[in-house]
Amino acid sequence: MTQTQKLSKNDIWKFDRSVAKNFASHARQHIPDYEVVLDKTINICNERLSKESSILEVGCAIGETVNRLQKNKFKNIYAVDASQDMLDHCPKGLAIYYCSKEFPNTGIKYDVVICNWTLHFIKDKESYLKKIYDALKPKGFLILSEKTENSGLALERYHAWKREQGVSEKEIEAKARSIEEVMHINSAEWYINKLREIGFHELDIFNLTARCFTSFLCIK
């Protein structure tokens, strides 16, 4: 596609009803270590939180993390997503849900904010991260997973991994085109520097693949 060519509205990636219906399988075909990161997210919460702790998930999709948190007896769960179609597939009664493209202004101070595979769809990440930081209690923490590479050998390995999951070459090419205008990639180094600038005093990379994705634990 040349620089003068534009994608049609139908070609641009959207978290609509068709995606929501198949999201569970789609995520596992397109996000390396998806299950591993979900498991580690819950393990971190179990290690660091009480069951009464306040938890916010940003970009909750169809509520897989919400469901796991509830199964682990966490009681105060909040979740936000920009897509009502995705929220319609979330488990009912397990969390207080918000539909918003913005960080929810609830007045609640959270013990943890979980933001897995969401911030790369937000252009002004710095402002969003500042809002997360301000919404955390002292010593609260952020769990953040992001696509941090989108070129070179890392992208080649990522596409090779997708093929191993049964994703066709046509699907890989179509997905790559569809996210060009909606996914905004920053490097792992950018996140480390920005998170420290914002005020997180301790950072740890708790999951890293050779296929473009990085997960951070960030302590306020």
For residue 182, what is the domain's CATH number?
3.40.50.150
Among 102, 63, 101, residue whose Cα is nearest residue 79: 63
Secondary structure class of 130 (helix, strand, coil) = helix
Domain of residue 102 covers: 17-219
Look at residue 6 and tell me if it is in a domain. no
Write out the chain's pLDDT in tens, 220 residues: 333 344 445 568 788 999 999 999 999 999 999 999 999 999 999 999 999 999 999 999 999 999 999 999 999 999 999 999 999 999 999 999 999 999 999 999 999 999 999 999 999 999 999 999 999 999 999 999 999 998 899 999 999 999 999 999 999 999 988 888 888 999 999 999 999 999 999 999 999 987 899 999 999 9
Look at residue 8 and tell me if it is in a domain. no
Q: What is the DSSP letter of 96?
A: E
Look at residue 12 and tell me if it is in a domain. no
Look at residue 137 and tell me if it is in a domain. yes
Query: What is the value of pTM for the model shown?
Result: 0.92
Give the Cα separation of 79 and 100 in Å (integer): 10
Domain count, the chain: 1
Q: Which two tokens stand for residue 171?
A: 């699907």
Give the Cα separation of 78 and 97 in Å (integer): 6
Phi, psi torsion values for 82, nearest 5 degrees: -80, -10
Look at residue 52 and tell me if it is in a domain. yes
